[in-house]
Structure 1
Amino acid sequence: MAEPFPVWNEIRSLGEAVPTPWGGWLLTGFDVCNQVLRGRDWLVPDFAWQARQPDTERWQAPATQEMSRTLSRLNPPMHTHQRRGIGNLFDRAALTRLGPMVDGHTTHLLDELAERLARGPADFVRPVGEMLPIATIGDWLGIPPEDHRYLVELTHDQAHAQELLPNKSQLALSEEATRQLRGYFTQLIAERRTATGEDVLSSWIRTWDELEPDRESADEILYTLTMFVTVAALETTTTLLSTVVWRLLQDPARWDWLRRNPEHIDSALDEALRYDPPIQLNTRIAAVDTELAGIPLAKDTMVHVMYGAANHDPRANDNPGDFDILRGGNHLTFGGGIHYCLGAQLARLEARALLGQLLERFPTLHTPGAPHYASRMVFRRIISLELAV
């Protein structure tokens, strides 16, 4: 988990599509992964696909069922219907409105970090990396600040259901977290109905009450959208924030150079996304009998897009093992096609604000040691990252 690059390289040496013991294929090449992410003949594993599997028990876990109702596990036309209902969440106008709020949250969290660093080395992840995304999405949806930490912890547990091969104990944790998330957001929606305002959730309530005359159906869609957007915004962005800080601090000269050249912050973010993506892999299903990387694949065959391996494909990026801020290279970290990450621009906004203030306020920032990682295959998660000045 700490340094997956040798594993990616070893798998890639076996081919662009490598068979797995569970009947799927690991995809390692940049072009092949890009083809699957953007191709119309590749679907996400929705309820219809799950029902056709011989081992349906694997897909019956409550948390797995819950996530299968969200945008990330919907195919057209259901995906199209929900996607149109929420529009372009983070367009330029929305980001302009959110910018001052994100800057304010960043300043507040770094004030608290500065107080801790004045007393000695301090963790970055729990007080800053985990809290900036929930403060942002919480303000956006109107979630009370006193509930932020609670939702962060539930999100960590719920993510187990989205792992490639979760065990029973992980699924139990995810099931309980999912139950609590459903209760929380169902109540939040009910309370907002009694006092709608100008927040995003109020806007969604008005939209879906028009699109879905049946109140129960509208509430179910509102729940899945609100829960999914929150969970998606927290887990991946938290890892991005911690990862970019860690990768920049691995080389003190790199941190110092970027501090003196802050106009390249966006380039540093893209290189961190390429070099060490927050999501290791994602799954797609063949919609028809097809051929991929010269291999015939039957309809319903499962393939796993390995983002890190693809981003480190030397045919797409020269010397991919080097962290090069000025690379200007390619990466697939935000996905592609209709399932391109909804919150990509929001994540960039948060990371840009955080890096800009960190570089300005902590010129001598360094890390006494490497971060600690959770044991996961899909969602990369840094548990702690100690910093010092």
Structure 2
Amino acid sequence: MGDLVPAPWGGYLVTGYDACNQVLRGRTWLVPDFAWQERQTDSERWHAVATQEMSGTLSRLNAPDHTRQRHSLGNLFDRQTIQAMAPHIEADVAGLLDRLAERIRVDGEADLAAVVSERLPINTVGRWLDIAPEDYAHILEMTHNQVHAQELLPTKSQLAISEAATLQLRRYFNGLVRERRDNPGDDVISGWIRTWDALESDREATDRIIYQLTMFVTIASLETTATLLSSLVWSLLRSPGSWDWLRARPEHIDDAIEEALRYDPPIRLNSRVAGADTVLSGVLVPKDTMVHVMYGAANHDPRRNPDPHTFDILRKGSHIAFGGGAHYCLGAGLARLEARTLLGQLLERFPTLRAVSPPEYAPRMVFHRVTSLRVAA
């Protein structure tokens, strides 16, 4: 239908790889921040509590606020940090796969998504932020409910669910920041507090920024990584011979991860607005017009990835699953580490792993959450 397709509700769907890349990396394309939202007539959607709360986080900030917050974080998951986290993730994966093996032994099958994929990311980010393990299940539940507000066309009932979860997240993470301010340590959040105290004289403003950073980094790393883990395994199991082939050639695990990101990205679309009248794929897009960058369509553009609907571990193709430009995913390196660790141990410990049934998905368009993937061995 073309690189730029008019959306029935207004704006455009951007489908071509190069056009999507241009939007993600172009300086004239902005995220729909508070200023843009105030100019919209659909006040109910953009003034909803959950939408407003997320609009204060890093993903909905433009320069200079985005630049300032991003620089304050530095390279969150640099080589040294990844190396320090790797042994803990290895141990976590081993323990989770013990549970998977036990469930398969007792019941004949198990839900990989529930037993392993959802648990690994919250264990990882929870330990990194020094969050109490007994809070993990509650954080997961709040996250699953909150993301409705980030959907393309949320209903009133979805916004209500998201609002309740948002208020819970606000209470939880504000409390966490207060606790770290009262009892500072060597943890990540305490470090952010010290950094922003040096930048801001207003302690209330500092704590609000730290709360938004902590909440955003936490929830952004959960559903996306969990879905990557399940989709990676499903892509291999549904492709005849791929599991055995990769077991014999573990040096291609990273290639399999990149192909899974291309083939079935955890986020299907992201939205931008034109910061000025601009031409995209030969079409004049007026200022303030919203466009939806279709990650899945772009990754399946045959001009970039020939035979795109074939899962090919050796493709060496291109994808935009982690976005691009100023808003490139902060946790890309960590997500890859978790996927690499899980897949390596799965291949070694479960040589005859098979899918009992196709995965089940939450009924969403943006966050492509796998809710269940039943496997046996």
Same fold (TM over 0.5): yes
- From 275, 279, 283, give the equivalent of 2:263: 275
CA distance in 1 between partners of 2:288 and 2:105 (Å): 56
The one-letter code of the counterpart of 1:191 is E
- State how 1:113-124 maps to structure 2 within 5 Å: 113-119=100-106, 120-124=108-112
SS at match of 1:128: helix
Which residue of the partner structure matches residue 2 of structure 2? 15
1:179 equivalent to 2:167? Answer yes
CA distance in 1 between partners of 2:342 and 2:88 (Å): 12
1:170 equivalent to 2:158? Answer yes
- State how 1:98-137 maps to structure 2 within 5 Å: 98-119=85-106, 120-137=108-125
CA distance in 2 between partners of 1:251 and 1:297 (Å): 41
Is the CA contact 1:252–1:366 (under 8 Å) kept in the aligned structure 2?
no
Which residue of the partner structure matches residue 73 of structure 2? 86
Which residue of the partner structure matches residue 246 of structure 2? 258
SS at match of 2:270: strand
Which residue of the partner structure matches residue 141 of structure 2? 153
Which residue of the partner structure matches residue 10 of structure 1? none
CA change 1:301–1:125 in 2 (3 A) is same
Is the CA contact 1:162–1:378 (under 8 Å) kept in the aligned structure 2?
yes
CA distance in 2 between partners of 1:260 and 1:147 (Å): 39
SS at match of 2:222: helix
- From 281, 295, 298, give the equivalent of 2:286: 298
Which residue of the partner structure matches residue 56 of structure 1? 43
The one-letter code of the counterpart of 1:70 is T
Query: How many residues are matched?
Result: 376
- From 316, 319, 326, give the equivalent of 1:338: 326
Is the CA contact 2:362–2:371 (under 8 Å) kept in the aligned structure 1?
yes
The one-letter code of the counterpart of 2:76 is L
CA distance in 2 between partners of 1:136 and 1:305 (Å): 29
CA change 1:242–1:381 in 2 (3 A) is same
Is the CA contact 2:299–2:318 (under 8 Å) kept in the aligned structure 1?
yes
Which residue of the partner structure matches residue 129 of structure 2? 141
Shift of 1:337: 0.4
Which residue of the partner structure matches residue 36 of structure 1? 23
Instruction: Give deviations 1:251-271, integer Å, cap 9, x for gaps.
Output: 351011111111100000000
CA distance in 1 between partners of 2:177 and 2:25 (Å): 34
CA distance in 2 between partners of 1:251 and 1:368 (Å): 14
Instruction: Give deviations 1:333-366, integer Å, cap 9, x for gaps.
Output: 1111000000000000000000000000100110
- Which has the higher mean CA deviation after the structures are superposed, 202-211 or 223-232? 202-211
Shift of 1:85: 1.1
CA distance in 2 between partners of 1:323 and 1:252 (Å): 10
SS at match of 2:221: helix
- From 190, 213, 216, give the equivalent of 1:225: 213
Instruction: Give deviations 1:22-70, integer Å, cap 9, x for gaps.
Output: 1110011000000110000100000000111122222011000011001
SS at match of 1:308: helix
Q: Give identity over the alignment, percent.
A: 65
- From 358, 362, 369, give the equivalent of 2:357: 369
CA distance in 2 between partners of 1:47 and 1:191 (Å): 29
Which residue of the partner structure matches residue 324 of structure 1? 312
CA distance in 2 between partners of 1:244 and 1:46 (Å): 33
- From 44, 56, 60, give the equivalent of 1:69: 56
Which residue of the partner structure matches residue 192 of structure 1? 180
1:242 equivalent to 2:195? Answer no
Instruction: Give deviations 1:58-88, integer Å, cap 9, x for gaps.
Output: 2011000011001100000000111111111
CA distance in 2 between partners of 1:318 and 1:192 (Å): 51
TM-score by length of 2: 0.99
The one-letter code of the counterpart of 1:69 is G
Shift of 1:320: 0.3
SS at match of 2:354: coil
CA distance in 2 between partners of 1:250 and 1:360 (Å): 18
CA distance in 1 between partners of 2:343 and 2:56 (Å): 35
CA distance in 2 between partners of 1:323 and 1:154 (Å): 34
Which residue of the partner structure matches residue 204 of structure 1? 192
1:214 equivalent to 2:214? Answer no
SS at match of 1:166: coil
The one-letter code of the counterpart of 2:277 is D
Which residue of the partner structure matches residue 7 of structure 1? none
Which residue of the partner structure matches residue 4 of structure 1? none
SS at match of 1:149: helix
Task: Let me know the Cα RMSD of the aligned residues.
Answer: 0.8
- Which has the higher mean CA deviation after the structures are superposed, 110-119 or 39-48? 110-119
The one-letter code of the counterpart of 2:193 is I
Shift of 1:331: 0.4
Instruction: Give deviations 1:153-198, integer Å, cap 9, x for gaps.
Output: 1101001000000001111111011100111111111111222221
Q: Which runs of 5+ in 1 are unaligned?
A: 1-13
The one-letter code of the counterpart of 2:189 is L
Which consecutive aligned stretches of 4+ in structure 1 deviate over 6 angstroms post-superposition?
none
SS at match of 1:118: helix
Which residue of the partner structure matches residue 307 of structure 1? 295
